[in-house]
Amino acid sequence: MEFDRVVRKRRMVRNYDPDRPVPQEVVDQLLDYAIRAPSAGFSQGWGFLVLETADDRDRFWAATAPAQTTSWLTRMRNAPLIIVPHSNRGVYEARYAEPDKGRPEAPPYWDIDAGFASLLMLLGAVDAGLGACFFGIPAQRVTNYRDAFGVPTAFTPIGAITVGYPAPDLRSPSLKRGRRPVSEVAHRGRWGVSY
């Protein structure tokens, strides 16, 4: 697919065809895109938990979702694939202490880099004809989540990504905000000079 089309077509998809698994080659492709993301100092301090079986996905939702079912949860649970991107601050601290960097403090890029990797997976899903949604794991459920999957405390999930073939969805109420135009967010030469 043309890059322009992939970018414009990408929307968060929150309902999926539960009967169409994500082909293994697409899963592999998404992970291959993820590791091609830029990272500060080429630290690559990320980790991805890939949940493909119904048991593992159930375990994820049981650990992270509130007990009360919502329409959002019912739709998201249809996703045949969940990828949880993690950041690891310690990797950046170690990398920036290396002689070629020699910085007393690592710049806080660990979540940014995991976010870049996540965006590549979101775009990769669209390119493969699928949909995906990046969403948050509530802070008070992160310990539950780590315990459920044996994730070391050095790794923090920056969110999670559902992936699958799109099914009829509800429009997110957030979209009512509308997209802020370039003229409002870009500044030419000096702040406040409209683009």
Ligand X SMILES: Cc1cc2nc3c(=O)[nH]c(=O)nc-3n(C[C@H](O)[C@H](O)[C@H](O)COP(=O)(O)O)c2cc1C
Which C-beta is closer to ligand X: that of 119 or that of 148? 119
Question: Is residue 65 a contact residue for ligand X (CB under 6 A)?
Answer: no
Q: Applying CB under 6 A, which part among 48-56, 89-97, 148-156, 167-175 lies near ligand X?
A: 167-175
Least separation in angstroms between residue 125's CB and ligand X is 12
Which C-beta is closer to ligand X: that of 71 or that of 172? 172
Question: Is residue 73 a contact residue for ligand X (CB under 6 A)?
Answer: no
Distance CA 23, CA 2 (A): 21
Distance CA 143, CA 163 (A): 24
Question: Is residue 174 a contact residue for ligand X (CB under 6 A)?
Answer: yes
- 3-class secondary-structure state, position 131: strand
Least separation in angstroms between residue 172's CB and ligand X is 5
Least separation in angstroms between residue 179's CB and ligand X is 8
Q: Residues of 119-145 as b/e, b for ≥16 C-beta within 10 angstroms?
A: ebbbbbbbbbebbbbbeebeeebbeeb
Question: Is residue 86 a contact residue for ligand X (CB under 6 A)?
Answer: no
* Closest by Cα among 132, 146, 25 to 81: 132
Which C-beta is closer to ligand X: that of 97 or that of 175? 175
Size of the site for ligand X (CB under 6 A): 10
The set of residues, in sequence order, having a beta carbon less than 8 Å from that of 111 and lying 6+ positions away, is 87, 156, 158
Token reading at 116: 């870049």
Residues forming contacts to ligand X in the complex (CB under 6 A) are 11-12, 14, 134-136, 159, 172, 174-175
